[in-house]
Structure 1
């Protein structure tokens, strides 16, 4: 029977005004500055602006920007008058709507800037102005900081089992004749901080600031305190949390082992340009121990928790009613640190989690099941005898009271009550064992929350296959639980390290599901900060080392990367440090961000130069110590085989990864117009590929080294096989997955990330679907059938000491958005997803008959909804305004196409099939028998 394909249009789900009286087809919206919504206190002198669009007529096609005009003003009133005293760009003929660099007058410190944009559409019609957006600046010059670093005389003693210092309070009383019109307080701290004015906490961020390399840098946050200040006495107070201030790799001779802070605020009246007062931290501030203290030592397996002594509560400690006369003066310190603005979202308390049951254990303790494994905060109300200590033990495993030494406690107050509530540390687990209570706690006495960096979700996905939905949702939940502090940790309970190898398994999943431009820009700065230092391995306080020196006696090349950033610690190999090449490229492909390539180019050059020093006859040699040359990690059965080994399989994978780095760096250099480096790196990649083929290629079965899935994937992704070998190697990889492994995955973290990227690029959704559909070991379905609520560290569940909330196997999360949905990245695009490809997955499965996806790209929201039923196909597709798409169909799908009045262009592909060029608009395609 004849198939007929016809085209219609899909009405938008959100309302939009209809086009009338010759008005523009476009309305600019969703304005951002440096990827952030109305950021405060930024120190970028040339911030980049961006927007997307709403279509004024959802039934129309081809809405397109042909020019834009930006105004940046000093006040909202000025902007309302369509004046831009800081920048009036004039009409710029361009379709660009992201990464638009500010080119106005030089920005000034501690100022507010208001901006809006208007555009011309495809017919030259001028749009209405967008809504007003804004940003504020921090302090651009080091000399503008007049405050001192202050803390207390209490210093951490690493010989103690638990931290021996309290989280201190600091306060300053000021007298004001009148309330200021403007007052932004900039706060930098080593360790966490909270800011209070007259008893009120300022801002909704928690566990601030984002984690940074405190051997070099401290990040500051801007807080608007003007509306909380009043005539008369005012108290500005800071509460410091020990946390990262005692992290071993951050200890330097110029800093004390105690939390410290630097803060200042200039107070302005009316429209004055000169402040009438400068509030700053110095020796005149007073300090007092708070009732809160870190448990543990902020070390590997010793992250601990917190203890709250309710007997020491002081309700008015941060108000004018508190008698501070007996409080000692703060201690002034002189660390040598670069101060820079925190240009990433703050940590936020999100997703309240309530227990599903409380049971009694055989020893008389009580066990609360929170229903889901999570990393974040808990609040627990208790009562009992004054002075009693109630303990809370956190566990990922049922019937195991505590995992990874995570525990907190509360001391009951003199009135017989107390509430434990996290403030400067967090726990990770599903079960809470409560010891010391004389009664069964009620479910309502216990609450939990996820705490993570406050980025926003970009995408959604659901399909007819319940297992795929489970994987997608658990991958996202796990990712969110790993992202506290402006970087991705390997695990939130045991290490909290920002491993580069694990980043391969998480970064594209993150980018395709969340708005993470600022997040990953910040993490790249962390990698630049740590370059040139060797990784720290082992217990940080038992190792004799001087940071930035010769930790193990080996020479430090300026291009060497530790295996984690900004945290220095942990083992790894070339794919760990090599994230400094891969991650900027992934960001560029997703966002069209040229600046991220420019700012990391020198780091990339240095890294590749370091690898050159470890190369002989075009092959990378094993280098470093026992934990410096890992290849794939945590493949099925790896612990029995020996993961950290000297076998040829590791040398092969790491050489393939080096070639992948070289080819990626050559592409980066080409984008930046650096033809010399591009040619050199491409030549090195070709020479090394030939050497790898000579050493590791198995001609008999077209595999590499040990014929593992990981090595074949690494070789193919790095384009190591010669052109006449590639098809055979790809076929061998297919056989390894479908026949040898019976459809199961058989790789670990690094090999798996490379495998999933390769198969996404190749359009081999059938192989990806096979691996994600297995319910027996190893696989995600095996985790599901073993009651997992988060993704595990290893394919095995019951090996002791391994995490059940980990970064290892999150790579399917990118495939659902950039694969199953049909939405594909256009390799030729230099503007992210402003142009993209739609090609539906080719596999057929009775479980996978439909999928609905919304992908919030930086260019706008792309939507697909496809369904296969009774031999036919329906596809609903939304191409955002100012975007275009290439739809790829098979000859059979394209037969009898009726496009109606839609302005699409048809052409045949050389390798078979038909493509259609689609302008912006909303479409419905379907086939019927």
Structure 2
């Protein structure tokens, strides 16, 4: 029972991945034990070419021998060189801190992909079409097929497939894989991802057939917010099916000129506009062997792709949940409104029956207006409309293939039809959920769920801003402030690693990062008689690569991601240094503290600061931009230190100091007042360590006074809000931070919850009782930026944080704060090293904390207590408990160091 065991073996953060292209992949596992103080002292890795060799304890690819270390993550494969398509099996044995040998783990595996362009033998195929797409009539979807023969004795069959556009693949009439929207969004000018599937069991001796449907997707459809955008005009498809026989012979089926093509029942599809299906055009058996191809045409062999073909090394987009409607309302005019009870990203699956040719129209919306109708003005150019034409003859099921919507409500019109079962299909990047938080306050619990649902709806290959309107960009400023919350909710290790590649692909030759990635050039904008491309190099947005990369290091201990993007990050910081040699950024236009609340009449602000402010940010741009410029220099100095680039560490540390001094000289008065005098200005300056110690306390006092003067209200926008809550808590004003969290009046987090929100709104005033709906031009009801409060709640309510002395949650800081009227909370976080749990309650002045620390992890625990009273662990004094060491006392907390295991602390709570 107490033996240390290795579990959850992963390769490059993934479970048994197929077709990876990392030459020396990193391996990791967790260790488990039920006893206190259990930790790993050594491991032995075996990596083999077969399960049989692994069973025989023969590591013919690599035997690490016994390695004395407690590390269980980022163990780089160091065996024989691997080749394309190689299948690799591995397992691990661990020894505990007492030298006791554990059992071998269950085996895990990975396979290598096609490691060079010369390995690809197929041609890109498709069907060129001169149709000029409109929002009402996107290009038609293309169907592709080919029959082929397979011999007897198949040992292994692997498909490698990708598209410029989207594809849905079939073998012998059955769908291959369960991914949706493959390949996922990249800058197709630079790279496209391929997917790998083991299809050994899908082939049969004799006649077989492969079929694929192509969608426009991100490649040739409407993406972004500029109207019709495209990387190319027509989707194309590339496939290679490699078959290995028992006798050692091999053969390949590839895409080439012998394939045939046609149009079919999916008349058209677009990610933003919707999908049109005419079931009368269904071709039964089109993806099976022996189908009569009369009327099908030869495919067009398309241009060869000149970018990088790379393996998908992140978790795919999949259907993750199905939901039944909470309410269905039939209207007198024949329309039906379906309420799923939850705002989400995905689509609906519906059973219906009608006469042949009966047309059904599905419209999607997040909310209803005052009359109970769908509110769609905030969709802007996007349609979010699906259309289905019945084939007749009984019950039919409609479910789209190449579109998704952001919605809670669906309006069905057309007919007459009969409706059967209706199901909401939830779709997003299938990331393992890692965190959970439940409190004694139902509104806080709903807020936690709203944040999670917003993340689910917007983590769609890239971290999009919203899933409903004509945008859905990977906005950098939104993502960088939410990244830490995202990591508490889900395992985002591979997801953000993929997106950092997108960010570097979008980086301009000057070194400037773009404001979203993958990047799409929009129209030129005139500013001060100068035309410039927008959405590049904006402070707080273009700074995201450094912030996100550093966050991945802090959360997962990932040095490789820092090294991979180090030169790119240096180019960005050096770009700013050259552009602003005096250490102050005054360039406009900027975004600033986006969607903040005006603290005084805007006319006064604009009269004082001119073009340095806007209705969206009354914190002056030069304050905001300079703060971020300093912050990035400081982070880059830390990154250089981690990577052993000591000369750079000194250079960028000095750069930070120079910008900080310029900031103070230009913007901060002798009394600590900061230019603009906004809550955000103080919060950012304090959190980013821009103020000298002599001014810090006065700045904090001014920040607190401004909150109180506003009636206990936060006026901060996207970026300032995250800084505000951290600064208040760290400066000893946690009670005030909890008051802001618990506030139910506008503006606040709980105001939207009380209005029935099931996701996070883009703006504090998306809808108010006084003004109703905000400007529909920018009013998403599913936007995660203000959900960055989630990180703060996990750390301060749940009480689970990492110890700053070491990255990756190897050392934990456990410090729940029983404030804000909360009487209990339970929290868990499943890190790379295992699941930590807390459960606390307050009853009759007594505080009880149950805490579980995973094996191989230690923690520092802060227990609030009355000085001079005994803190118990179990039934004895905590200071004498096994696995517990009293460190000291800080304020009204006793501080203990604990080993792994489960503990129960009881104390008298200070009043």
Counting only pairs closer than 5 Å after superposition, residues 96-245 of structure 1 correspond to structure 2 as: 96-155=71-130, 157-158=132-133, 160-245=134-219
Aligned match of 2:451 in 472, 475, 482?
475
Counting only pairs closer than 5 Å after superposition, residues 901-912 of structure 1 correspond to structure 2 as: 901-908=881-888
Change (3 A) 1:491 1:772: farther
Aligned match of 1:695 in 666, 669, 689?
666
Change (3 A) 1:254 1:245: closer
Task: Determine if the alignment matches structure 1 residue 408 to structure 2 residue 386.
Answer: yes
Task: Determine if the alignment matches structure 1 residue 732 to structure 2 residue 702.
Answer: yes
Asked whether the 8 Å contact 1:163–1:293 carries over to 2, the reply is no
Task: Determine if the alignment matches structure 1 residue 393 to structure 2 residue 356.
Answer: no
Q: Which residue does 2:68 correspond to in 1?
A: 93
Q: Which residue does 1:560 correspond to in 2?
A: 512
TM-score, length basis structure 1: 0.89
> Cα offset for 1:386?
2.4
> Cα offset for 1:734?
2.5
Equivalent pairs, count: 861
Asked whether the 8 Å contact 1:636–1:794 carries over to 2, the reply is no
Asked whether the 8 Å contact 1:490–1:502 carries over to 2, the reply is no
Counting only pairs closer than 5 Å after superposition, residues 253-268 of structure 1 correspond to structure 2 as: 256-268=232-244
Q: Which residue does 2:593 correspond to in 1?
A: 632
> Cα offset for 1:639?
14
> Cα offset for 1:815?
1.9
Asked whether the 8 Å contact 1:179–1:229 carries over to 2, the reply is no
Change (3 A) 1:492 1:696: same
Secondary structure of 1:659's aligned partner:
helix
> Cα offset for 1:765?
3.8
Secondary structure of 2:367's aligned partner:
coil
Asked whether the 8 Å contact 1:662–1:685 carries over to 2, the reply is yes
Secondary structure of 1:925's aligned partner:
strand
Structure 2: how far apart are the matches of 1:319 and 1:894?
Answer: 79
Counting only pairs closer than 5 Å after superposition, residues 598-637 of structure 1 correspond to structure 2 as: 598-623=563-588, 626=589, 629-636=590-597
Structure 1: how far apart are the matches of 2:728 and 2:688?
Answer: 13
* Residues 348-372 of structure 1: per-residue CA shift (max 9 Å, x gap): 1122122222224465422222222
Output the aligned Cα RMSD: 2.5
* Residues 567-601 of structure 1: per-residue CA shift (max 9 Å, x gap): 43674721111001100101110111111111111
Structure 2: how far apart are the matches of 1:889 and 1:689?
Answer: 36
Change (3 A) 1:489 1:844: closer
Structure 2: how far apart are the matches of 1:910 and 1:417?
Answer: 69
Moved more, 129-138 or 570-579: 570-579
Q: Which residue does 2:407 correspond to in 1?
A: 429
Structure 1: how far apart are the matches of 2:734 and 2:567?
Answer: 36
- Structure with higher RCO (Cα < 8 A, 6+ apart): 1
Q: Which residue does 1:75 correspond to in 2?
A: 50
Aligned match of 2:832 in 849, 858, 861?
858
Structure 1: how far apart are the matches of 2:467 and 2:482?
Answer: 12
Change (3 A) 1:318 1:646: closer
Q: Which residue does 1:590 correspond to in 2?
A: 555
Q: Which residue does 2:897 correspond to in 1?
A: 917
Moved more, 560-569 or 585-594: 560-569
Give structure 2 stretches of 5+ with no counterpart: 522-533, 603-612, 768-772, 872-876
Asked whether the 8 Å contact 1:763–1:819 carries over to 2, the reply is no
Q: Which residue does 1:816 correspond to in 2?
A: 793
Task: Determine if the alignment matches structure 1 residue 927 to structure 2 residue 907.
Answer: yes
Structure 2: how far apart are the matches of 1:321 and 1:172?
Answer: 10
* Residues 431-475 of structure 1: per-residue CA shift (max 9 Å, x gap): 211121235x54x43221110111111121111122211111111
Structure 1: how far apart are the matches of 2:601 and 2:277?
Answer: 43
Structure 1: how far apart are the matches of 2:336 and 2:889?
Answer: 66
Q: Which residue does 2:425 correspond to in 1?
A: 449
Secondary structure of 1:620's aligned partner:
coil
Secondary structure of 1:812's aligned partner:
helix
Q: Which residue does 1:48 correspond to in 2?
A: 26
Change (3 A) 1:844 1:357: closer
Moved more, 421-430 or 355-364: 355-364
Secondary structure of 2:428's aligned partner:
strand
Moved more, 818-827 or 858-867: 818-827
Asked whether the 8 Å contact 1:855–1:862 carries over to 2, the reply is yes
Task: Determine if the alignment matches structure 1 residue 309 to structure 2 residue 278.
Answer: yes
TM-score, length basis structure 2: 0.90
Q: Which residue does 1:30 correspond to in 2?
A: 8
Change (3 A) 1:407 1:605: same
Secondary structure of 2:141's aligned partner:
strand
Give structure 1 stretches of 5+ with no counterpart: 1-17, 20-24, 533-556
Secondary structure of 1:621's aligned partner:
coil
> Cα offset for 1:620?
1.3
Structure 1: how far apart are the matches of 2:732 and 2:32?
Answer: 31
Q: Which residue does 1:345 correspond to in 2?
A: 315
Moved more, 178-187 or 565-574: 565-574
Change (3 A) 1:35 1:807: same
Structure 1: how far apart are the matches of 2:229 and 2:336?
Answer: 45
Q: Which residue does 2:649 correspond to in 1?
A: 678
Secondary structure of 1:577's aligned partner:
coil
